[in-house]
């Protein structure tokens, strides 16, 4: 009887862990970015490219670029790559000045989950 109870507890724990881990993967998380997080670059990028783990809905997603002083840097229109809805492009309308930058992003994945985050890079 005790062994059967142990087996039920182990099986239940395993199933609960499996369900929780699947939910964690059901959100669009930032997989990579160009410029990369914590990168130091020597040339101003022409575009920010963010790649997510799931496709994103462009109407409910966005990216903001902030300078070291906290001021917003004007960018072009946020677009989702037509060949891969996991890739987001944000053109820069003017060259960046030397300094630190923060990229703030928020996305709604195609399965309806919202996520947000930020990362930094430096232009020398």
pLDDT on residue 1: 65
Cut 0.85: pTM above it: no
Note whether 111 and 70 are within 8 A (CB). no
pLDDT on residue 6: 60
- Domain 27-123 carries which CATH code? 2.60.40.1220
Left if phi > 0, otherwise alpha if psi is -120 to 50, otherwise beta: which for 112?
A: left
Strand order of the β-sheet with 62-67 is 39-41, 114-123, 99-108, 62-67, 72-73
Q: Where are the domains of the chain?
A: 27-123
SS3 72: strand
Mean pLDDT by runs of 10 across the 124 residues of the chain is: 59 48 67 98 98 96 95 96 97 97 97 96 98
């Amino acid at each position: 009887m005790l062994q059967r109870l142990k087996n039920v507890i182990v099986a239940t724990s395993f199933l609960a862990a499996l369900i929780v881990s699947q939910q964690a993967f059901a959100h669009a998380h930032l997989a990579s970015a160009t410029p990369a997080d914590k990168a130091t670059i020597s040339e101003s990028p022409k575009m920010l490219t963010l790649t997510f783990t799931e496709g994103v809905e462009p109407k409910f997603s966005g990216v903001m670029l902030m300078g070291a002083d906290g001021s917003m840097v004007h960018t072009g229109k946020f677009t989702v790559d037509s060949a891969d809805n996991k890739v987001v492009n944000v053109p820069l309308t003017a060259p960046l000045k030397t300094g630190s930058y923060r990229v703030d992003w928020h996305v709604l994945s195609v399965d309806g989950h919202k996520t947000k985050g930020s990362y930094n890079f430096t232009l020398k």
